[in-house]
C-alpha cells in the first residue's frame, strides 16, 4: 500500500481508503457480516483511512464501525461528517448551526466508541456556511479540547471547494472526482495543492458505474434508500452507461475497470486519498490493489480528452 501526507494535517494516509456509505444500505440491502469483512480486509491490507458520516443510515455506519474497530482503533485514521439531518421533522435538510454540530459531533463520538475523531468534516455546506466564522470557531474549540484532531469539508461543487480554500480554515477538502467528472482537477486541485490543503476524492467509481459491471436492466433494482434511484433516474442511467463503454480501453488482463478508475484519481499530484465503498472483503481487496496500478501517459490523455469532448469523440 502506498501512503501520502494529507496536506497540512501531516497525517500519513493510505492512497486507497474505505468509504462506508454502502454499509448503511444506500446501494442496496447489506448484511453486517459483509460490511465487517470489508473493514477487516481494509486493515489487513494496510488501508488506514476510513470515512463515514452520521448521515449514513442515520448513524448506522458509525455504530457498525465503532464496534468493528473496538480494540484496534489505533490502526485507523477515522473521518466522519455532520450537518445532514436524517431524523425528525427536518429530515433531508442541512443544519450547520453551532449548537447542532456541537451536539451531533458528541453523538458521533459515542457511536464510534472513540475519544477523538481524526478528521471531522462539515457534510455538504454551501458557500455561505463555508464563509461564516462561527462554525469554524466551534471546530477549533473542539480541536483544542482534543475531541477532533483536524477538520475540513465534504462538498458538492467546485465553487464550494474554491470558497473553502480561499477561507483558509479547512484542513481538507473531500470532493467528487472520477473519469466521468473531472472538473475538480481543473478548478480546485491546483488551488488546494498550492495551499497545502489535503484532497480526499469521493465517488471515484461514480456510484458503481465505473466498475463496468452495471447493465441497463439493473436500473429496475434502484429504489427506496438506494441513492442511484435518484442519481440515475430516467434516461440518465443509459447515457452514463454509454460513456462507461467508451472507457473500456482502460481494462486490461489482470486490471479491472474499477482499478483503472481508482488509479486515474490517485495519479493526480494534489490527491492524497481516494475513497471507494466496498461491500465486502473481495471488493476491498480489488480496490486496494489499485494502489499498484499505473496508467500510461496515453491512457491518461485519452481519458481526459474523452471527458473534455463530453464522450462524443
User: Residues 109-131: pLDDT tens digits?
Assistant: 999 999 999 999 999 999 999 99
Q: In the prediction, which pLDDT does 25 show?
A: 67
Residue bearing cell 451536539: 103
pLDDT at 313: 60
- Count CB-CB contacts under 10 A for residue 121: 28
- Is the Cβ–Cβ distance between 268 and 185 less than 8 Å? yes
Please list the ranges in the chain whose pLDDT falls under 50. none
**Ordered alpha helix ranges (H), 21-170:** 32-44, 60-68, 98-112, 127-131, 134-145, 158-167
Checking DSSP bridges between strand 12-14 and strand 198-202, what pairing results, if any?
A: unpaired
Predicted confidence (pLDDT) per residue in 122-155, tens digit: 999 999 999 988 999 999 999 999 999 999 999 9
Q: What positions carry a catalytic annotation?
A: 56
For cell 461543487, name the residue: 157
User: Could you tell me how many residues make up the chain?
Assistant: 313
pLDDT at site 243:
94
The pTM (predicted TM-score) of the whole model is 0.94
Q: Which fold has domain 3-211+257-294?
A: TIM Barrel (3.20.20)
pLDDT of the residue at 232: 80
Amino acid at each position: 500500500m502506498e501512503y501520502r501526507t494529507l496536506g497540512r494535517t501531516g497525517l500519513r494516509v493510505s492512497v486507497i481508503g474505505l468509504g462506508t456509505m454502502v454499509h448503511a444500505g444506500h446501494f442496496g440491502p447489506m448484511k453486517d457480516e459483509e460490511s465487517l469483512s470489508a473493514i477487516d480486509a481494509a486493515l489487513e491490507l494496510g488501508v488506514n483511512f476510513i470515512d463515514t458520516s452520521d448521515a449514513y443510515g442515520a448513524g448506522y455506519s458509525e455504530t457498525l464501525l465503532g464496534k468493528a474497530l473496538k480494540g484496534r482503533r489505533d490502526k485507523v485514521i477515522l473521518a466522519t461528517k455532520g450537518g445532514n439531518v436524517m431524523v425528525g421533522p427536518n429530515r433531508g435538510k442541512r443544519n450547520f448551526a453551532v449548537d447542532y454540530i456541537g451536539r451531533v459531533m458528541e453523538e458521533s463520538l459515542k457511536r464510534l466508541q472513540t475519544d477523538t475523531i481524526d478528521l471531522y468534516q462539515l457534510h455538504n455546506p454551501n458557500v455561505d456556511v463555508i464563509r461564516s466564522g462561527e462554525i469554524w470557531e466551534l471546530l477549533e474549540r473542539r480541536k483544542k479540547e482534543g475531541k477532533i484532531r483536524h477538520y475540513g469539508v465534504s462538498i458538492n461543487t467546485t465553487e464550494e471547494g474554491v470558497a473553502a480554500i480561499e477561507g483558509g480554515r479547512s484542513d481538507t477538502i473531500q470532493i467528487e472526482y472520477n473519469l466521468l467528472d473531472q472538473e475538480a482537477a481543473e478548478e480546485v486541485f491546483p488551488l488546494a495543492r498550492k495551499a497545502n490543503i489535503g484532497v480526499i476524492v469521493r465517488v471515484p467509481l461514480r456510484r458503481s458505474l465505473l466498475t463496468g459491471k452495471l447493465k441497463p436492466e439493473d436500473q429496475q433494482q434502484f429504489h427506496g434508500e438506494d441513492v442511484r434511484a435518484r442519481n440515475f433516474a430516467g434516461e440518465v442511467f443509459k447515457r452514463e452507461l454509454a460513456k462507461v463503454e467508451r472507457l473500456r480501453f482502460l481494462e486490461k488482463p489482470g486490471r479491472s475497470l474499477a482499478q483503472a478508475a481508482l488509479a486515474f484519481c490517485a495519479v493526480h499530484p494534489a490527491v492524497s486519498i481516494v475513497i471507494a465503498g466496498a461491500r465486502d472483503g473481495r471488493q476491498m481487496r480489488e480496490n486496494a490493489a489499485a494502489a499498484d496500478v499505473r496508467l500510461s501517459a496515453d491512457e491518461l490523455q485519452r481519458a481526459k480528452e474523452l471527458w473534455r469532448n463530453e464522450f462524443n469523440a
